[in-house]
Structure formats: C-alpha cells, structure tokens
C-alpha cells in the first residue's frame, strides 16, 4: 500500500514538472528579412507578438535578416539560449532546418513554406493562391493595355503557384491579356523591386502585382498613377488612390494553434512527421484586401461592377464574381478552387485533368506555369 502511495506521489510530481516545463515555453523565430520590411517578415513578427500576448507562460525571441547559409549557426545560438520551439520562416531555410532538427532531436522545429518534415519538424503555410486568383480577376478587368506586370522574388513553387493563379484569374476576364514577369532573385531588395516595376511600366504594363517584402512596387506604381495590389500587409496607406486590393496574411492563428498544442502536449518532438498546416481563407489565415476590412478599394468598385465576364454561360459583373468566390472560400466547405481541371500549362501540356483539383503536395511542388505568363521561368518542365 505504501509503495503504491509513493508511486502515485512520484507520478504526480513528474507530471507536474512536465507540465511546468510545457507551460514555460520559449519560442524563437528566424527571419530572412528585417522586421521593418512592411511585408513578409513584418507579418511574421506581428504574429509572434500576438502569440506572446495570447499564451500565458510563452516567451519569444527573434533573429532578423538571417542568410540561409547562417541558419544552423543561428539555431545553435538559440538552442543554447533555451529555445525549445524554433520557427524558421523562409523557404531557403528548409534544408538547414532539417539538419538542425536531426542535430537537436528534443527541440521542436516548424518551417514555413517548405515540404520537408521530421519527427520533430512540422511545416506550415498561410497560402494566397485562391486570393491571387481573385486579384487576377480584378487586374484582368482593369487593364486597358492587356499587359499586367509582376515583380517576382525567386522562381520557387510557391511563386509559380501564385503567379499562375493570378494569370488564370486575369485570363478568366480578359482571355488575351498577359502577365509579364520580371524575377529579381531577392526577397528584400527595394532597389531591384523599383527598377523592375519601372521597367514593366515602360514596357506598357498598366497594372502591377508583386512578391517582394516592401511597399516599393506599390509606391513606384502610384507615382505613375498605375493601379497595384497589396502584398502580405495593408499597403493601402502608401497609395490610397491606386491600391486596388491585395493578399493579406494573419500568421498569428497558426502560431497560436501550434504553440498551444506544444504547451498541452499534443505536439511532441516525436510526432510531427505528418503535421502540415495549409491554412487558407477558410481558417482566417489569409484575407482579400487593400487593407484589413477593405476587400476592394471603393475607388475601384464602379469600374469592377461595370466590367463583366462569362460564368457558366451567364454574364456577371467582375465585382460580383470576386465577392461570390471570396464568400465561398471563407465558408467551412468551399466548393470552388482555381486549380480545378482541365488546366494546361503555357506549353499546352495537360497538368490537371477535367474535374480534378490539385492536391496540396502538387501545389507545393508546382514547377509549371499557366497560360498567359510571359517571361523566362527557371526549372519549367517542357
């Protein structure tokens, strides 16, 4: 009886100790850019701060402007500093994060935008491809030249997916329009972004979209009175007369969910091999908007209501179509997806058969691009 009593006491103490360890999490974030970039890294850091406020016992730390080659050394310092959950927030960090996960099997790692996992490494993404299609519909309706410019960071599957969804939307309204891409091979480079935006406008592109982590493209386009789209954050304030809409993110819903599950013991360093967050508008991880609460800039609503497109044999306004699809993808069971076949790539190869929707794996590994995309695309299959 006494032995049983002592075993019970020891078990309770061990459980309490374990819970105390879980309750006092230290989550650390490795950023590819500066937290003041207005875009990608700024959004992750906003979410870090929101998670710290939302979760009692959570402390956080971050390192900004980390080069991919320095990822493992940065992890070494963070682990030595007591970090037991580490988020690496750039596709370029994927392989070194996997290496770090093997080196520190008791630490939990989470990698944004990649696809490689381990027992102590999960993946997560708040993805825009559905939102990009909706912005493509608006771009297709607003372009007068039929040329839409895109300033692109790196030619990885994420960007090929986004640019293709955007182009599918553009061509759903304007079948002859093109999406003209200039790669700058940088996530954060305002000088290259400005030069690419100016070059695209000089070539006749009268609408701009982009992936780069500053508001440079929005500001550069506004100086030439060219409409553009926000990316990652609310950029309406930088050009209120020219930002049409955009894709906005809220990473906090993902960070809070992951950290609460680490804290309550649902996630451990041994059961993350198959954990992949792929959160969209339905999960409130992404939004359509020129800024939060403004899906479409009111200045552009009259033009979008006047522009029309054909849907299932009926002519409807582009504005109504955008709002109808946006409502659908925010519902618990969306019926529509832009990557539902039949879809051929720009070389005429059938990539998605009729009636089939691309899987998350296919979207994550996408190398081809949709018809209407113009410009060289590295690693494009023929």
E strands in the chain: 26-30, 59-63, 85-88, 108-112, 121-126, 147-152, 178-183, 207-210, 228-232, 243-249, 276-279, 286-288, 308-311, 314-317, 343-344, 350-352, 373-374
pLDDT at 8: 40
Residue 81 contacts by C-beta under 8 Å, 6 or more apart in sequence?
Answer: 26, 28, 61
Q: For residue 182, is pLDDT > 80?
A: yes
Burial class of 5 by CB neighbour count within 10 A (0 to 12, 13 to 18, 19+):
exposed
pLDDT of residue 17: 38
2-23 helix and 252-263 helix, angle to the nearest 10 degrees: 160
| 147 pLDDT above the threshold of 90 | yes
**Stronger pLDDT, 23 or 376, i.e. the higher one:** 376
pLDDT in tens, 198-228: 999 999 999 999 999 999 999 999 999 999 9
pLDDT per residue as tens digits for the range 60-100: 999 999 999 999 999 999 999 999 999 999 999 999 999 99
Provide the residue count of the chain: 382
Percent of the chain with pLDDT over 70: 94
pLDDT score recorded for residue 15:
37
Please state, rounded to an integer, the average pLDDT across all residues of the chain.
Answer: 94
The model's pLDDT over 223-268, given as tens digits with 9 standing for 90+, comes to: 999 999 999 999 999 999 999 999 999 999 999 999 999 999 999 9
276-301 residue pLDDT tens: 999 999 999 999 999 999 999 999 99
pLDDT at 6: 42
SS3 sequence, 145-169? CCEEEEEECCCCHHHHHHHHHHHHH
Q: Sorting pLDDT into bands at 50, 70 and 90, what band is 22?
A: low
Contact status, residue 110 vs residue 123, Cβ threshold 8 Å? yes
- How many angstroms separate the Cα of 139 from the Cα of each of 25, 41, 146? 45, 26, 9
pLDDT at 352 over 80: yes
Please tell me the distance from the alpha carbon of residue 242 to that of residue 215, in angstroms, as a whole number: 13
> DSSP secondary-structure letter at 359?
P
325 has a pLDDT exceeding 60: yes
The pTM is what? 0.90
Query: Mind listing the pLDDT tens digit for each residue in 4-20?
Result: 344 343 333 333 434 34
For the chain, percent of residues with pLDDT exceeding 90: 92
Neighbour-count burial of 154, counting CB atoms closer than 10 A to its CB (0-12 exposed, 13-18 middle, 19+ buried) = middle
Band (pLDDT 50/70/90 cuts) for residue 24 is confident
Q: In sequence order, what are the beta bridge partners of 313?
A: none
| Tokens 């459980």 sit on residue | 15
Give the residue, 153 or 3, on which the prediction is more confident: 153
């Amino acid at each position: 009886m006494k032995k049983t009593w002592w075993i019970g006491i020891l078990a309770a103490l061990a459980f309490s100790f374990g819970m105390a360890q879980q309750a006092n999490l230290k989550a650390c974030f490795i950023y590819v850019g500066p937290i003041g970039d207005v875009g990608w890294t700024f959004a992750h850091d906003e979410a870090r701060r929101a998670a710290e406020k939302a979760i009692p016992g959570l402390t956080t730390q971050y390192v900004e402007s980390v080069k991919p080659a320095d990822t493992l050394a940065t992890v070494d310092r963070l682990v030595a500093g007591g970090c037991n959950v580490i988020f690496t927030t750039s596709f370029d960090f994927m392989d070194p994060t996997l290496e770090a996960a093997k080196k520190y099997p008791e630490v939990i790692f989470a990698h944004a935008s990649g696809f490689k996992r381990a027992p102590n490494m999960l993946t997560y993404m708040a993805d825009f491809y559905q939102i990009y299609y909706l912005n493509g519909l608006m771009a297709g309706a607003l372009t007068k030249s039929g040329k839409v410019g895109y300033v692109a960071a790196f030619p990885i599957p994420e960007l090929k997916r986004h640019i293709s969804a955007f182009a599918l939307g553009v061509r759903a309204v304007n079948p002859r329009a093109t999406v003209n891409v200039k790669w700058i091979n940088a996530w954060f480079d305002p000088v290259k972004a400005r030069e690419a935006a100016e070059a695209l406008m000089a070539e006749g592109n009268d609408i701009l979209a982009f992936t780069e982590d500053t508001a440079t493209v929005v500001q550069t386009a506004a100086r030439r009175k060219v409409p553009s789209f926000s990316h990652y954050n609310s950029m309406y304030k930088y050009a209120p007369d020219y930002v049409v809409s955009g894709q906005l993110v809220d990473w906090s819903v993902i960070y809070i969910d992951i950290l609460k599950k680490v804290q309550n013991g649902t996630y451990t360093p041994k059961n993350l091999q198959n954990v992949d967050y792929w959160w969209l508008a339905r999960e409130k991880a992404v939004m359509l908007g020129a800024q939060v609460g403004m899906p479409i800039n009111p200045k552009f609503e009259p033009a979008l209501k006047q522009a029309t497109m054909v849907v299932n044999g009926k002519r409807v306004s582009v504005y109504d179509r955008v709002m109808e699809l946006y409502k659908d993808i925010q519902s618990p069971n969306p019926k529509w997806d832009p990557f539902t076949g039949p879809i051929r790539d720009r070389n005429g190869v059938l990539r998605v058969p009729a009636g089939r929707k691309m899987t998350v794996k296919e979207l994550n590994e996408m190398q081809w691009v949709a018809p209407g995309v113009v410009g060289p695309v590295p690693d494009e299959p023929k």
